[in-house]
Structure 1
Amino acid sequence: MTVDRRSRPENILALAAASGEAELTDNQESVWREVVKRVDEVYSDLLRYEADLESKNAELEEAQSFISSVIASVSDILAVSDAKGGVIQTNPAFLALLGCDEPQLLGRNLPELIVEDDRAQAVQFLHGCAAGSCELRFMTAHGLSDMMAINFSPRVDHAGRFVGAVLTGRPIGELRRAYQALHSAHLDLQQAQRKLIEQEKMASLGRLVAGVAHELNNPISFVYGNVHVLDRYRKNLAEFFREDEKREDFETADLRRRYRIDAILADLEPLIEGTLEGARRVSEIVKNLRRLSFNRAHEAQAIDLERTIGMAAQWAARSKRHQVRIDIEVAPGLSLRGNEGQIHQIFVNLIDNALDAVRKTADPHINIRAATADGEIEIAVADNGIGIADDSFDKLFEPFFTTKTVGEGTGLGLWISYSIAREHGGAISAANRPGGGAIFTLRLPSGAQ
């Protein structure tokens, strides 16, 4: 604003004289001086307002320059639209993304710049009054942009009326990869923590089990020794009564019938066999517990797989009452090096589980196949049972996990088998067969130690 110099107070009287009033009366002069005073005050106010206005304008220009520089330096894309979705302002990042100049972009309908498949979710924010976020792509001069994480914020005027929207966003590729890496690291940390806790629990449990196994060994030895002696006595008594029966003593025969000697002798054999079987099972459990408690190295030796698998199948089937067809297919001359007792234990455990799985199957069948595959020896034990439940796969090889009822299993078989396989440089995996049933696959290096 610029004040006209002709309106200065000292020029007022000269202007009045020039207008034809050469002589002024006292009253007129007093009036004119009052007018001059008022004009002088107005003029001073005008000068002050002009200075204030120039200062405010400089501040406004500085603020606008600051905001423009900030917007230009932001790496995120930014676009401002009116209530109809037209672009009224943008930043260099958005122009660089689209590959166009600002004059080409201003006034264009913002939804037209968005890929058609992603357009609907953006329109609801551009024409609405609610903030929100979504993922979408833009059509650029070089094709489709990367997927962008977009935030929409409504713009309102002084009366609170919706006048447009502000769009900001950035590519989500790097952000998503960083999040996935962080998420993966977090999962790994959680898994490591769980393993650490389980290892500490298993270490404590191992010490307890070692003591229990040691204490059980003595009474089991007593049972074994006594039962074998008892079986020898039974045989001697049976032979004695057979010899005594030949003498045809009427009184002795009557006593035999009265005390049911023949029935007792007939029952003694299965009773002793059952006791021995129970002792063997308890001994096997103790061995499993001791193997769980200690990690002892064993001398490696050559293992004939066909003989070992056949023996394991006989041992496992002997303890079951139901008949199961077991087919064994072993490649000729297949062998490996390792601890034969431990490898035999794996086969017994896998076959025993398969026998339990087909217990309620109409035509129970187990197929055991051993061959070389990719430089490894692969032994697969397949059954036609009910298969493995989906929620059991991640717990199959955990110690003490079992789907059997109490008294049918300890849940140590697969854990011990997995540990033995790993000690030999191999692995065990489980899967459901497409035609029904489950298959456990043991893989060992041909030169396993």
Structure 2
Amino acid sequence: LTQAYHVGANDYLNKPIVKEELFSRIETHLKLQQVNHSIEDKVVQRTRQLTLSYEKLEQAHDHLKQTQSQLVQSEKMSSLGTLVTGVGHEINNPVNFVSGSASLIERDLDRFKILLNDLVGKNDDELMAVFDQRFDELFEHLSTLNDGTERITEIVSNLSTFARADGTGDGATEYALNSLGKCLNSTLNLAKTNYKTEVEFTCDIQDDPEIRCNASELNQVFMNLMVNACQAMEGRPDAQLSIVMKQLGSELIISFTDTGCGMSQETIDKIFEPFFTTKPDGKGTGLGMAISYGIIERHQGRFEVVSQVKDGTTIRVHLPLKA
């Protein structure tokens, strides 16, 4: 009997076999089999439901993480805008003092030079030559000083354009009509400060129509694309970043083409995923392109990515003229 159970038996009858008992047991086992099949079906169905629920929960969790990251970055950008406004004002004041004083010094030097010419007269050419040489050096130093103050003013202006909040200037994010040419150039000037000796930049703005947008958010997208392109070309002697903005039909297209390392199709498929990065540890968070994707999506636009390994990358931003 023990051996019979080991090989799969689940019941037994004593001889002589009674027909009624046999049929009753068969009927009972058939019912048990139906119950087992029903339980198995319910387990499979419930497992399927749990799997779907888990997948939905996982998707919701990923979406929540992405939204949280966007909120954190948005708060950082808002804080940056407030910071830049205050710091820009504090920097501009002393820069204006320096610029104004330099202009006054230049005016007074001109007057002093004229006075010396009148005092010395035309009788001592050798002495006047020495004076002229010294004056030329002083004027050259003043020119360098003026160039420096103009550069500081330009950097502060670019930062303000990059980080400004559209509309009221109080951090509001309402969309407004903007021409992106100035924004693109300001962001490019900021990117150049870190890469101007390593990368050759070209910017061709063929069309600059007004579109309804949040310019500060788009500046953030442009900066992400420029920095990513420059980092992809690090160490390359032929590093070039070409930016073209043009209108095509009902869209405004801004393309960023670099001569960097390029990307595989597998990488292209993942670049907009939160926390995905090909950069070494400490070089990137993997949030830049995910945030950029969300910004362009809110503008009812889209990305187009064309890339080959070792053959550079072109990323096009398509924005609707009427959103």
Q: What is the one-letter code of the residue matched to 2:97? A: N
Q: Identify the residue that residue 71 of structure 1 maps to in structure 2.
A: 33
In structure 1, C-alpha distance between the alignment counterparts of 2:307 and 2:20, rounded to whole Å: 78
Q: Deviations over 1:65-100 (max 9, x none)?
A: 3222111344379xxxxxxxxxxxxxxxxxxxxxxx
2:183 is aligned with 1:221? no
In structure 1, C-alpha distance between the alignment counterparts of 2:280 and 2:104, rounded to whole Å: 38
In structure 2, C-alpha distance between the alignment counterparts of 1:403 and 1:312, rounded to whole Å: 26
Q: What is the one-letter code of the residue matched to 1:385? A: G
CA contact (8 A) 1:310 1:328 kept: no
Structure 2: state its 5+ residue gaps. 1-13
So what's the TM-score if we normalise by structure 2? 0.60
Q: Identify the residue that residue 8 of structure 2 maps to in structure 1.
A: none
How far is the alpha carbon of 1:264 from its aligned partner?
Answer: 5.0
Aligned-pair Cα RMSD in Å: 5.6
- Correspondences of 1:233-382 after superposition (within 5 Å): 233-237=104-108, 239-240=110-111, 242-243=113-114, 246=117, 247=120, 263=137, 265-291=139-165, 294-300=171-177, 303=179, 315=189, 319=193, 320-321=196-197, 324=200, 326=202, 328=204, 330=206, 335=209, 337-338=211-212, 345=219, 349=223, 352-353=226-227, 354=229, 357-358=232-233, 360-369=235-244, 370=246, 372=248, 375-382=250-257
Q: Deviations over 1:255-293 (max 9, x none)?
A: 998xx7754542343344234424533454355445398
- Alpha-carbon distance change, 326 to 350 in structure 1, aligned in 2, over 3 angstroms: farther
- Correspondences of 1:8-407 after superposition (within 5 Å): 62=24, 64-75=26-37, 178=49, 181-195=52-66, 197-198=68-69, 201=72, 205=76, 208-209=79-80, 212-237=83-108, 239-240=110-111, 242-243=113-114, 246=117, 247=120, 263=137, 265-291=139-165, 294-300=171-177, 303=179, 315=189, 319=193, 320-321=196-197, 324=200, 326=202, 328=204, 330=206, 335=209, 337-338=211-212, 345=219, 349=223, 352-353=226-227, 354=229, 357-358=232-233, 360-369=235-244, 370=246, 372=248, 375-387=250-262, 390=267, 393-394=271-272
How far is the alpha carbon of 1:442 from its aligned partner?
Answer: 0.8
In structure 2, C-alpha distance between the alignment counterparts of 1:315 and 1:299, rounded to whole Å: 23
Q: Give the fraction of aligned pairs with identical amino acids, expressed as a percent.
A: 16
In structure 2, C-alpha distance between the alignment counterparts of 1:199 and 1:325, rounded to whole Å: 29
Using CA pairs under 8 Å that are at least 6 residues apart, name the structure with larger relative contact order, 1 or 2. 2
- Alpha-carbon distance change, 199 to 356 in structure 1, aligned in 2, over 3 angstroms: closer
In structure 1, C-alpha distance between the alignment counterparts of 2:219 and 2:50, rounded to whole Å: 45
Q: Deviations over 1:30-81 (max 9, x none)?
A: xxxxxxxxxxxxxxxxxxxxxx999x9988875553222111344379xxxx
Structure 1: state its 5+ residue gaps. 1-51, 78-168
Query: Which protein has the bigger helix share?
Result: 2
Alignment: residue pair count = 293
- Alpha-carbon distance change, 376 to 196 in structure 1, aligned in 2, over 3 angstroms: closer
How far is the alpha carbon of 1:300 from its aligned partner?
Answer: 1.9
How far is the alpha carbon of 1:190 from its aligned partner?
Answer: 0.9
Q: What is the one-letter code of the residue matched to 2:313? A: A
In structure 2, C-alpha distance between the alignment counterparts of 1:416 and 1:272, rounded to whole Å: 39
Q: Deviations over 1:123-158 (max 9, x none)?
A: xxxxxxxxxxxxxxxxxxxxxxxxxxxxxxxxxxxx
So what's the TM-score if we normalise by structure 1? 0.46
- Alpha-carbon distance change, 224 to 432 in structure 1, aligned in 2, over 3 angstroms: farther
In structure 1, C-alpha distance between the alignment counterparts of 2:216 and 2:47, rounded to whole Å: 47
Greater C-alpha radius of gyration: 1
Q: Identify the residue that residue 301 of structure 2 maps to in structure 1.
A: 426
CA contact (8 A) 2:81 2:165 kept: no
CA contact (8 A) 1:429 1:442 kept: yes
- SS of equivalent residue, structure 1 residue 228: helix
How far is the alpha carbon of 1:342 from its aligned partner?
Answer: 5.6
Q: Deviations over 1:406-429 (max 9, x none)?
A: 9x99x9997886676455432445
CA contact (8 A) 1:313 1:351 kept: no
CA contact (8 A) 1:349 1:413 kept: no
CA contact (8 A) 2:188 2:226 kept: no
